[in-house]
């Protein structure tokens, strides 16, 4: 085996690859696309950091390459689609920088609380400002943690050592799991109103972009301090700068920004802000750990194993894929539905019936996890790592094979136990390109899982559909399809509307205010 290591990845970190018969070439320079394309055909594995770009041209030249290892988390510098197309596994190191990021969060929190950067700058410029720079203690302050994944939970453990009271908001973590971390699970609104410090550890998605906007910041306590070592864009920098200048926010410490490198920014004119240039993962130990994690994964794969931290889909034989592909697609849709309708998922029970009894459904189960987790976690989720990520979040899984599918030739049913109760959804494949959701919480439906759908639970009585339709129409949201599932006339029912655009939150709130409406959920399928 021949392995190429670029970008100054630490040699000590790749010692797992130094074994009999394996050649490891370590290059400290950053190679151009031309240089890498010219050499890559001689190697079985490649390890890089962020500087080297593994383009489609490089991958097309990689006749022997089996695996690409990214000594870090992000894989934006690797053409994943091209790698997958060539059957090349891409692995990263999602855990290696957890401690570094958590410690940097605490470092910024302490620097902010005790005015350390301003004190240092003043003293070096001949100013003794002892009385001016009175700080605050962390002891018995309430720390609001946005996101309770690997880094958020690590921050919680360290903050508790400072005798801080930890509360957290993460719609995909159950209150029981949060309690196990020593964190009280609360709503976003409660977290913002109660916290003395807020620290962010969430992925940047369409849902979290500008999560802390002007309105959210205004709802916080006067004197709040905000720390962000997660992703730029979660905090609206213009709104934060305004709140800092008005002294509603006592201070902010940011390691990440909406535009990087940081250029012109209103934050630069704020004296009560601490800024660092994306140093969250920049420690000697983190760089060593990510190299070790990637080297271990590559060694396992080259020896015939399958690493847990693969970030692309590989290993499904073409003939098996052809048969399973529609069921994989359906599974992913069902997982998406569960994630967006249910919150704080504890466990899943997946039941396969009918023709599925004769198929190997393990990969279909993984596709359900993939669809669910893609809406929850910051990691790149696929058929290789979905099971691993689910286990890491403590989600229990049970699969059952029974029955003939009833009225359907095949049927997949998902029962999700969530923090809000139990959610049931089932689907069927009518033709390879004809997928349907056929049941929601015991109500028979026939829903095409694509685009945007609105699921409305309500009392079965005249006028319900019209009132909902009127509100959507007034908001300019067109209804593409509509149906109602019910069990008994006059009882409970579910209305499922296919809509051409996402319904605004104020419209959803107005729908919920209609007498007889029990709940509303919006689901978006990619």
Strand 451-459, strand 492-499: pairing: antiparallel
Residues whose CB is less than 8 angstroms from the CB of residue 304 and which lie 6 or more positions away in sequence, other chains included: none
- 377 vs 2, 187, 453, CA distance in Å? 34, 18, 22
Query: Which listed residue (246, 260, 285, 398) is catalytic?
Result: 260
**DSSP code for 17:** G
287 phi, psi to nearest 5 deg: -65, -35
Residues 55 and 86: their CA atoms lie apart, in Å, by: 13
495 phi, psi to nearest 5 deg: -105, 130
Strand 89-91, strand 67-70: pairing: parallel
**DSSP code for 35:** H
Residues whose CB is less than 8 angstroms from the CB of residue 448 and which lie 6 or more positions away in sequence, other chains included: 435, 436, 481, 498
Query: Is 260 annotated in the active site?
Result: yes
Query: Which listed residue (42, 248, 278, 452) is catalytic?
Result: 278
Neighbours of 274 (CB within 10 A): 22
Q: 325 near 432, Cβ under 8 Å?
A: yes
Query: Is 264 annotated in the active site?
Result: no
- At 455, is the secondary structure helix, strand, or coil? strand
Question: Would you call 183 exposed, middle or buried from its count of C-beta atoms within 10 A (0-12, 13-18, 19+)?
Answer: buried
- The closest of 439, 508, 505, 523 to 468, measured between CA atoms, is 508
Query: Which listed residue (231, 380, 411, 458) is catalytic?
Result: 231
284 phi, psi to nearest 5 deg: -60, -40
Does residue 207 have a cis bond before it (omega within 30 degrees)?
A: no
- Cα–chain-centroid distance for residue 490? 41
Residues whose CB is less than 8 angstroms from the CB of residue 53 and which lie 6 or more positions away in sequence, other chains included: 33, 77
Catalytic residues: 231, 260, 278
């Amino acid at each position: 085996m021949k392995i190429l290591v670029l970008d100054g990845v630490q040699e000590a970190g790749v010692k797992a690859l130094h074994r009999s018969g394996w050649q490891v070439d370590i290059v400290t320079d950053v190679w151009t696309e031309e240089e890498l394309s010219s050499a890559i055909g001689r190697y079985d594995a490649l390890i890089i950091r962020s500087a080297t770009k593994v383009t489609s041209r490089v991958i097309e030249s990689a006749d022997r390459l089996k695996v690409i290892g990214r000594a870090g988390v992000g894989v934006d510098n690797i053409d994943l689609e091209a790698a997958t197309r060539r059957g090349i596994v891409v692995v990263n190191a999602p855990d290696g920088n957890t401690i570094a990021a958590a410690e940097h969060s605490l470092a910024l929190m302490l620097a902010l609380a005790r005015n350390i950067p301003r004190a240092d700058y003043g003293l070096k410029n001949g100013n003794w400002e002892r009385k001016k720079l009175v700080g605050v203690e962390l002891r018995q302050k309430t720390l609001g943690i946005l996101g309770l994944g690997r880094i958020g939970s690590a921050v919680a453990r360290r903050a508790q050592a400072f005798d801080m009271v930890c509360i957290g908001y993460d719609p995909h973590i159950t209150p029981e799991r949060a309690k196990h971390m020593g964190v009280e699970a609360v709503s976003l609104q409660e977290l913002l109103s109660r916290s003395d410090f807020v620290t962010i550890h969430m992925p940047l998605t369409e849902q979290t972009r500008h999560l802390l906007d002007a309105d959210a910041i205004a709802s916080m306590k006067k004197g709040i301090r905000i720390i962000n070592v997660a992703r730029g864009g979660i905090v609206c920098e213009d709104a934060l700068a305004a709140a800092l200048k008005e002294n509603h926010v006592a201070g902010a410490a940011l390691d990440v920004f909406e535009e990087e490198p940081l250029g012109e920014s209103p934050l630069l004119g704020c004296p009560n802000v601490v800024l660092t240039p994306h140093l969250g993962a920049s420690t000697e130990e983190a760089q060593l750990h990510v190299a070790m994690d990637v080297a271990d994964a590559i060694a396992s794969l080259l020896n015939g194993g399958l690493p847990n931290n693969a970030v692309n889909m590989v290993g499904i034989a073409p003939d098996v894929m052809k048969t399973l592909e529609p069921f994989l697609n359906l599974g992913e849709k069902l997982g998406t539905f569960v994630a967006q309708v249910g919150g704080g998922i504890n466990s899943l029970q997946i039941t396969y019936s009918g023709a599925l009894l004769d198929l190997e459904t393990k990969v279909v189960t993984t596709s359900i996890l993939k669809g669910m987790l893609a809406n929850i976690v910051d990691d790149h989720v696929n058929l290789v790592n979905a099971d691993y990520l689910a286990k890491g979040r403590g989600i229990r899984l049970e699969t059952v094979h029974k029955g003939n599918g009833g009225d359907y030739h095949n049927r997949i049913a998902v029962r999700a136990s969530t923090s809000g109760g139990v959610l049931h959804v089932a689907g069927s494949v009518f033709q390879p390109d004809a997928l349907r959701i056929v049941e929601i919480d015991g109500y028979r439906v026939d829903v095409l899982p694509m685009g945007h759908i609105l699921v409305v639970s309500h009392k079965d009585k005249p006028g319900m559909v019209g009132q909902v339709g009127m509100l959507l129409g007034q908001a300019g949201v067109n209804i593409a399809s509509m149906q109602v599932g019910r069990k008994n006339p006059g009882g409970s029912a579910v209305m499922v509307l296919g809509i051409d655009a996402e319904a605004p939150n104020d419209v959803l709130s107005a729908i919920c205010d209609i007498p007889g409406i029990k709940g509303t959920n919006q689901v978006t399928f990619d």
